[in-house]
Structure 1
Amino acid sequence: MQFLKILFWCLIAFVAAMFTFGNWNTVPINLWGGLVADVNLPFLLLLTFLAGLIPTWLYHRAARWRLQQRLATAERVILDIRPAHVPMGAQPLPPPANPPGTAPLA
């Protein structure tokens, strides 16, 4: 499986290199105040890709952190509710004759 992952990333790198080699053109970008910036097309595409990726990645990390905090809180509550241990010689409670929500058998 690791080989396929490496092969996939090599294929992506090869396609990116071929795109960069074939499109090494400067693109004029009109800025404020009449300024014009000449930027290479692959660099411009990389910047736009990162402009979309980074906020999405930050949102994902924040949501994941929030869910981990909620899970940790729920686990602490469960550990607080559950008895730590049953003392030696103590008998556990017998199960109820009729589970809640069921009719007694006649």
Structure 2
Amino acid sequence: MQVIRTIAWIVLTAVLVAFIAMNWTKVPVNFWPLADGNYFHFEWPVGVVALLFFGFGMLPVWAYLRAVRWRLNRRIASLENSLRATSMASLATPAEAAPVASDTIPTETPSEIEKS
């Protein structure tokens, strides 16, 4: 499985490098309108702009998934602690001896059983 994951990462990296290499022309990116009617902008290569905004789009999803993982890890730890506390409490109290029926206890000693 590790080989497949490595190959997938290599292919993804090659595709991204090829995309950036083919789209290296610079384009103006307008960020904010200014008071004089112009825009505050940068001129960046298309590939860099695409990767940057892809990362910005992925950021909220990543943050949400990290929060879910954190919450689930806290819940698991809480359940483990309560289970540990319950098992320690049951070990601390002596187990009650089960009553033994008097008809199952042999009244004869082993030597008497051998004689008969």
TM-score of the pair, normalised by structure 2: 0.66
Quote how far apart the aligned CAs of 1:86 are.
6.4
The CA distance in 2 between the partners of 1:92 and 1:37, in whole Å, is: 82
Match of 1:84 in 2: 91
- Letter of the 1:37 partner, please give it: F
The structural deviation recorded for 1:61 is 0.9
Query: How high is the sequence identity, in percent, across the aligned residues?
Result: 29
Measure how far apart 1:75 and its partner are.
Answer: 2.0
Secondary structure of 1:91 counterpart: coil
Larger proportion of helix = 2
TM-score, normalised to structure 1's length? 0.71
Question: 1:52 is aligned with what amino acid?
Answer: G
Task: Structure 1 unaligned segments of length 5 or more: list them.
Answer: 94-106
Runs (4+) of structure 1 exceeding 6 A deviation are none
Q: CA RMSD for the aligned pairs?
A: 2.3
CA distance in 1 between counterparts of 2:49 and 2:66 reads 26
Greater Rg over alpha carbons, structure: 2
Distance 1:55 1:36 in 2: 24
TM-aligned CA deviation for residue 85 of structure 1: 5.2
Secondary structure of 1:84's counterpart equals: helix
What does 1:35-50 align with in structure 2 at a 5 Å threshold? 35-50=40-55
Distance 1:47 1:2 in 2: 28
SS in 1 for 2:91: coil
Counterpart CA distance in 1 for 2:79 and 2:49 is: 46
Pair 16,72 (structure 1): closer, same or farther in 2 beyond 3 Å: same
1:57: Cα distance to partner?
Answer: 1.0
- CA distance 1:39–1:85, change in 2 (3 Å): same
Range with bigger deviation, 9-18 or 27-36: 27-36
- For 2:9, the equivalent position in structure 1 comes to 9
